[in-house]
Amino acid sequence: MGKKIHVSTTINGEAVEFLCEARQSFLEVLRDTLTLTGAKEGCNNGNCGACTVLMNGVPVDSCLVLAVEADGAEFETVESIATEEHLHPLQECFLEGAALQCGICTPGFLVSAKALLDNQPEPTEEEIRFELSGNLCRCTGYDKIVRAVQTASERMKEVK
Amino acid sequence: MSENFNHAQIIKDPEDNYKILGTRPVRHDGVDKVTGRAVYANDVQLQGLVEAAILRSPEAHARILSIDTSEAEAHPGVLAVTTSADFPDLGDKVANLGEGPVNLAHLAANCLAKDKVLYKGHAVAAVAAQNVHIAREALDLIKVEYEPLPVITDALEAMKDGAPLLHEGLLTNLVPGGGKAETPSNVSDHHHFKRGDTEAAFEAAHIVVEREFTTQTVHQGYIEPHAATAHWNQDGQLTVWASTQGSFSAREQTSEVLQVPISKVKVIPCEIGGGFGGKIPVYLEPVAAVLSRKCGRPVKIQMTRDGVFEGTGPTPASFMRIKLGVDETGKMTAGEAWLAYDTGAFPGGVIGPGVMCVFSCYDIEHANIDGYDVCVNKPWTKAYRAPGSTHVAYAIESVVDELAEKLEMDPIDLRLLNAAREGTKRVDGPVYPRIGLIETLEAAKNHDHYKSPLEGPNRGRGVAAGFWFNIGLKSAATAHVNADGTVTLLEGSTDIGGTRTSISMQLAETLGIAAEDINPKVADTDSVGYTDITGGSRVTFATGLAAVEVGKDIISQMKGRAAKLWECEAADVEFSDGVFSQEDNSISFKELCAKLNTTGGLITARASVDPQGFTNGFGVHICDLEVDVETGKVQILRYTALQDAGKAIHPSYVEGQMQGGSVQGIGWALNEEYLFDEKGHMLNPTMLDYRMPTALDVPMIDTVIIEVPNPSHPFGVRGVGETPIVPPPGAIANAVKNATGIRMTDLPMSPPRVHSAIMENGNGTS
Ligand code: FES
Ligand code: FES
């Protein structure tokens, strides 16, 4: 097993330190050690996107990131999308547009969609479908998810 | 909402003037689910929690000669190891677990194999350790000696005389007669229904079409793997945190497998990340419980994704032969179906509903149905959304389409001519109450999608119908009325797709208050009355009915309080639209709530219901697609799902069920299948290789809700969850036929299959 490794990282704007084994994924540490259970494990091999977080601004499957690779990186997880008082427009639109049923995929979709809208505020339907194709949802058939992202994009434009 | 949410077209019942029903409030558990705070089974954290892993069989059929766990037990960090030797002997005990009889020995042997493994991936042992990595290391140290046995994965092969038997001494159940066959075989059930004289009717028919179809094993594909945590306390009390479609069912199954009194088991249902029928049986709960008893700590097990594919219950592969005859006008006169579904490792599959559904959309005078459930060396199959119906709908809807072509009739007109309606007697016996198939077909015929032209090479349009029941079963609810005018509602139905809200809305409608004033909670098995599973499209219907009954109880108790205030008889107090009144007195629900404490205290109400009989939902889907003749890939261009949904309580979630079910059906039609090698090993147990639809694979799914009220529910609710998966494979196969001239009789219509069909039939341009 070897000795545990010390890692310093930044999660949702906060400096965080943890000890991990070399074989642990960042998802595992996030959920089990740091109790940030918003990111979900659907497959543990990069196929489903339920574990998506932003690593240095880029969406990654956190099950494929080794915990030791977190050293020096900056992460944003689903827990950081809302402010203290308000939901993010994406979260509002997912709720108003019923874009979740069981909700297990929702954290991953929200993180991927936020990365998309941060980079491309007015995506086409095709771009939304392409950018979200690494996130599987088995409940909704994607229709309401795509529409929620479209509506959030419109709302964010109005606010600006 | 002015924005782009683009709601369904709803064809309303003219009588309908509800205030709350039909609106679209934000779901009560919504904020927790978009902020990552909702607690799913794998999110449970407890003091002293340890993790476990499952050892699975590398053989698809073998006798277990010995299991040596000593090295695993000695491995540092390991806390407990278990095998089936730790389960009590259950003999041949059969228990009725809400949804029907279950052979407990089979249930237990599926959780941990007893003397034989019956499929690759069958659980054999489990290890609890300080963490899951150590548990997995220890799995490698368990020595299991197997004696391999002949492997059989195909139902037709398994039915042959002399086929190797999975269960020596298995005698076929004969349905509906009730007897048993005399000689043992792999056939667990044979259903047979007959009416009229099919032979003469086929003889007299104008056109007869007979075709054979096959489908492959497919998985429900929920994104959350099964997970369970158990804590066996020193006082003998067992608490289980589970991802289950039915906490009471999980409690019964766990208590029966372990032979502990049901009162000693409490199941706490967590948020559940999808089920679709696959999270009704227990796999992990009894195993986690035994490990916890052995090590004195709470034990959590989360399945790996390949464990989910190989070790849980997908839905069966099938072989189907359908024969249908019509007269000159297109009236169906005779039908025959011969169906074989594989049940996987243990007896008891979904052939029953397959048999009931095969001719369910049509009124056919002479009919003959034989259906077989057959054991093979594959995972024990389980329900998947409208279990058994999608298979037969694919087959019959393809044959109906071919008949329409031969008759040179519009395929919807042919269906309209033969459609089941109120009073039609299904071949297996039941007579339909008020149903909406005709209305749904008419709405499809009049839909812009059906009327608009489809142009371009290799493009085609297809339609298909589909049927599913909704069952009643037992539901309970309890409500506490609060002084601020809100109501806390406890119910026992795990919420997979927004049912907290659809149930609350029915209580709100009854009480004349806002949906937001109801605060629903899914309670554990100690805290609410017995409630059957979330399944069978029953929750909004039956638990909703319980909520309506609770509402009536609240109203009658509150009438008593109003009577106290006004010094009159409770019988003289009226209630309508959220207001209590008597002569010149009147008080709103909220105002009266504020006076409860001074008129005898706050109010609690409760109801248990067990609605009898069945209702039905019908769907009709229209699909446009294009076939890439170079690769065989099918691209869906436009898709419309129409459904007789009864009263749509929360239309967004009804649409969501229709869209989600349609896309699951599209995946089943075009790509999903378990691939097995000759040893019975699944070749594609990952989500990448099993390849369910992604956002990029499908278009928007348009929906039309046709509100034909269900006469056996006060608001006319019908179950809507399952029907939408039924029509897609038929609709897509018919569209592929129109695009290429080729009738695909094997699912999935994956690129290699479509491509080779095109190669065999010429270039396929139409
Ligand atoms: S859990 Fe990371 S991609 Fe599925
Ligand atoms: S809402 Fe259930 S998987 Fe997406």
Cα separation, A72 vs B259, in Å, equals: 53
Cis peptide before B176 (omega within 30 of 0): yes
Domain limits at A14?
A: 4-80
CB contact under 8 A, A87 and B271: no
For B413-424, what is the mean pLDDT? 97
Last residue of a domain, one of A61, A80, A99: A80
**Do A23 and A47 have their domain in common?**
yes
Task: Tell me the pLDDT tens digit for each residue of B59-100.
Answer: 999 999 999 999 999 999 999 999 999 999 988 888 876 666
Does ligand 2 have an atom closer than 6 angstroms to the CB of A132?
no
User: From its phi and psi, is residue B536 left (phi > 0), alpha (psi between -120 and 50) or beta?
Assistant: left
Closest-CA residue of A relative to B46 is A32
Cis peptide before B748 (omega within 30 of 0): yes
The CA distance from B665 to B686, in Å, is 19
Measured N-to-C along each axis, helices B651-670 and B728-740 cross at an angle, to the nearest 10 degrees, of 50
Q: Is the shortest distance between the CB of B34 and ligand 2 below 6 Å? A: no
Q: Which of residues 47-106 of A touch B (CB under 8 A)?
A: 47-48, 50, 77-79, 81-82, 87, 91, 94-98, 100-106
- Same domain membership, residue A114 and residue A66: no
- Cα A43 to middle of ligand 1, angstroms: 5
pLDDT tens, A55-84?
Answer: 999 999 999 999 999 999 999 999 999 999
Q: What pLDDT sits at residue A141?
A: 98
CA of A147 to the centre of ligand 1 (A): 24
Contact assignment for B223 to A138 by CB distance below 8 Å? yes
Which domains does chain B possess? 1-17+431-466+615-766 (3.30.365.10), 42-150+222-311 (3.90.1170.50), 472-609 (3.30.365.10)
How many Å lie between the alpha carbon of B588 and the closest alpha carbon of chain A? Answer: 29
User: Ligand 2 atom closest to Cα of B224?
Assistant: 3
- The reply to whether A9 and A74 lie within a common domain is yes
How crowded is residue B488: how many other Cβ atoms within 10 Å of its Cβ? 14
What region does B48 belong to: left with phi over 0, alpha with psi -120 to 50, or beta? left
Residues of A in contact with B271 (CB under 8 A): 102-104
Instruction: Return d(Cα B734, Cα B326) in angstroms, integer.
Output: 19
The backbone torsions φ and ψ at residue B406, rounded to the nearest 5 degrees and listed phi first, read: -65, -35
Cβ atoms within 10 A of the Cβ of A13, count?
9
* Residues of A whose CB is below 8 A from B304: 44
Rounded to whole angstroms, how far apart are CA atoms B545 and B554? 14
Shared-domain flag, residues A118 and A70? no
Q: Is the ipTM of this complex over 0.85?
A: yes
pLDDT digits (tens, 9 = 90+) for B135-164: 999 999 999 999 999 999 999 999 999 999
Q: Which two tokens stand for residue B194?
A: 């007959």
Which of A51, A80, A109 represents a domain boundary (last residue)? A80
- Whether the per-residue pLDDT at B4 is higher than 80: the answer is no
**Domain CATH for A17:** 3.10.20.30
Pairwise CA distance, residues A16 & A125, whole Å: 37
Distant-in-sequence, close-in-space partners of B21: CB < 8 Å, separation ≥ 6: B505, B506, B509, B647, B649, B715
**Minimal Cα–Cα distance from B181 to chain A, Å?**
41
Put simply, whether B635 touches A (Cβ < 8 Å) is: no
Contact A79 B695 (CB under 8 A): no
Report d(CA B475, CA B88) in Å as an integer. Answer: 31
Q: What is the pLDDT of residues B472-516, one digit of tens each?
A: 889 999 999 999 999 999 999 988 878 999 999 999 999 999 999
Read off the tokens for B308: 């989910």
Is residue A68 located within the same domain as residue A101? no
**Which chain B residues contact residue A154 at CB under 8 A?**
3-4
As a whole number, mean pLDDT of residues B569-584 equals 96
The whole-number pLDDT of residue B535 equals 79
d(CA B727, CA B618): 9
The pair of three-digit structure tokens given for residue B547, joined into one six-digit string: 């909520």
- Token representation of residue A17: 């330190």
Both A75 and A40 in one domain: the answer is yes
pLDDT tens by residue, B581-633: 999 999 999 999 999 999 999 999 999 999 876 678 899 999 999 999 999 99
Q: How far is CA B624 from the centre of its chain?
A: 27
Domain count, chain A: 2
Helix (H, G, I), strand (E, B) or coil at B631: coil
Task: Give the rounded percent of residues in chain B with a pLDDT score beyond 90.
Answer: 89
Which tokens hold the place of B594? 């504020």
Are B31 and A95 in contact (CB < 8 Å)?
A: yes
Residue B540's SS3 state is: helix
Above 80 in pLDDT, residue B644? yes
Distances (CA, A) of B331 to B94, B289, B336, B418, B643: 45, 58, 15, 6, 24
Q: Is B695 near chain A, with CB under 8 Å?
A: yes
- Contact of B748 with chain A, judged by CB distance below 8 Å, is answered with no
If you average pLDDT over residues A125-148, what whole number do you get?
A: 98
Token pair belonging to B627: 């076939």
Atom index in ligand 2 nearest the CA of residue A101 equals 1
DSSP symbol at B528: S
Identity of residue B508: A
C-alpha A41/C-alpha A26 separation (Å) is 11
Residue B631 contacts by C-beta under 8 Å, 6 or more apart in sequence?
B751, B755
CATH code assigned at A99: 1.10.150.120
- Judgement on whether residues A75 and A94 belong to the same structural domain of the protein: no
Closest atom of ligand 1 to A27 CA is 2
Residue-by-residue DSSP string for B657-694:
HHHHHHHHHHHHHHT----B-TTS-BS--SHHHHT---
- pLDDT, residue B156, reads 98
Q: Are strands B187-195 and B173-175 parallel, antiparallel or unpaired?
A: parallel
What span, in angstroms and rounded, lies between the C-alpha atoms of B356 and B425?
Answer: 11
Q: Residue B671 pLDDT more than 90?
A: yes
**Is ligand 2 within 6 A of the CB of residue A104?**
yes
Are A64 and A114 members of one domain?
no
**Residues 33-72, chain B: which have Cβ within 8 Å of A?**
33-40, 42-43, 45
* B24, B304, B664 ranked by CB distance to A44: nearest: B304
Q: Which two tokens stand for residue A108?
A: 């991953």
pTM for this model (two decimals): 0.97
Distance from C-alpha of B667 to C-alpha of B485, rounded to nearest angstrom = 47
**Partners of B351 in the β-ladder:** none
Report how far ligand 1's centroid is from the alpha carbon of B683 (Å): 20
User: Among A94-98, B169-173, B586-590, B712-716, which stretch is predicted with the lowest mean pLDDT?
Assistant: B712-716
Report the distance separating Cα B477 and Cα B582, nearest Å.
29
Quick check: B224 and A42 CB within 8 A? yes
Q: With beta carbons under 8 A apart, name residues in chain A contacting B688.
A: 45, 47
Does A76 share its domain with A93? no
Query: What is the CB neighbour count within 10 angstroms for residue B635?
Result: 15
Express the helix, strand and coil content of chain A in percent, nearest 5 each: 40, 15, 45
Which ligand ends up closest to the CA of B221?
Answer: 2
Interchain contact, A101 vs B496, CB within 8 Å: yes
- B475-481: strand order across its sheet: B518-522, B487-491, B475-481, B603-609
| Residues framing ligand 1 (Cβ under 6 A) | A 41-44, 46-51, 61, 63
Residue B237's closest CA among B278, B287, B289? Answer: B289
In this structure, the strands spanning A14-20 and A5-11 are antiparallel
Per-residue pLDDT at A160: 65
pLDDT value of position B537: 76
- pLDDT at B765 exceeding the cut of 60: no
Query: Mind listing the pLDDT tens digit for each residue in B94-118?
Result: 887 666 678 999 999 999 999 999 9
Q: For residues B192 and A9, what is the distance between their CA atoms, to the nearest angstrom?
A: 66
pLDDT tens figures, B28-68:
999 999 999 999 999 999 999 999 999 999 999 999 999 99
- Dihedral angle of Cα B289, B292, B294, B295, to the nearest 10 degrees: 170
Ligand 1 centroid vs B332 CA: distance in angstroms?
50
Query: Is residue A76 located within the same domain as residue A135?
Result: no
The model's pLDDT over B277-295, given as tens digits with 9 standing for 90+, comes to 999 999 999 999 999 999 9
Sign of the alpha-carbon dihedral angle for B396, B398, B400, B403: negative
Both A67 and A121 in a single domain? no
HSE on the CB side for B330, CA within 13 Å? Answer: 22
- DSSP tag of A33: I
pLDDT score recorded for residue B1: 41
* Pairing label, strands B318-326, A52-55: unpaired
Q: What rounded mean pLDDT belongs to chain B?
A: 95
> What angle separates helix B411-418 from helix B389-407, to the nearest 10 degrees?
110
Of the partner residues A42, A79, A150, the one whose CB lies closest to the CB of residue B36: A79
The SS3 assignment for B517 reads helix
The pLDDT of residue B375 = 98
Instruction: Test B659 with A154 for CB contact under 8 angstroms.
Output: no
Looking at chain B, how many residues does it have? 766
Q: Give strand pairing partners of B203.
A: none
Confidence of residue B209 (pLDDT cuts 50, 70, 90): very high
pLDDT of B764: 44
pLDDT per residue over B231-281, tens digit each? Answer: 999 999 999 999 999 999 999 999 999 999 999 999 999 999 999 999 999
d(CA A35, ligand 1 centre) in Å: 17
- Give the residue among B733, B742, B740, B746 at the shortest CA–CA distance from B628: B740
Asked whether B643 and B724 are in contact (CB, 8 A), the reply is yes
Q: How many whole angstroms separate alpha carbon A6 and alpha carbon A21?
A: 9
- Out of A80, A104, A136, a domain closes at A80
Mutate to test the pocket of ligand 1, among A25, A37, A44, A77 (most ligand atoms within 8 A of CB): A44
B25 touches A: beta carbon within 8 Å? no
* Helix locations, B349-436, DSSP H: 351-357, 389-407, 411-418
Residues of A in contact with B30 (CB under 8 A): 95, 100
| Residues 6 or more apart whose Cβ sits within 8 Å of residue B296 | B232, B234
In this structure, are A114 and A142 located in the same domain?
Answer: yes
To the nearest whole Å, the CA of B94 is away from the closest chain A CA by 33
As a three-state string, the secondary structure of chain A is CCCCEEEEEEECCEEEEEEECCCCEHHHHHHHHCCCCCCCCCCCCCCCCCCEEEECCEEEEHHHCEHHHHCCCEEECHHHCCCCCCCCHHHHHHHHCCCCCCCCCHHHHHHHHHHHHHHCCCCCHHHHHHHCCCCCCCCCCCHHHHHHHHHHHHHHHHHC
User: Does residue B763 register a pLDDT over 60?
Assistant: no
The Cα–Cα gap between B48 and B50 comes to 6
Task: Write out the two tokens for B706.
Answer: 């046709």
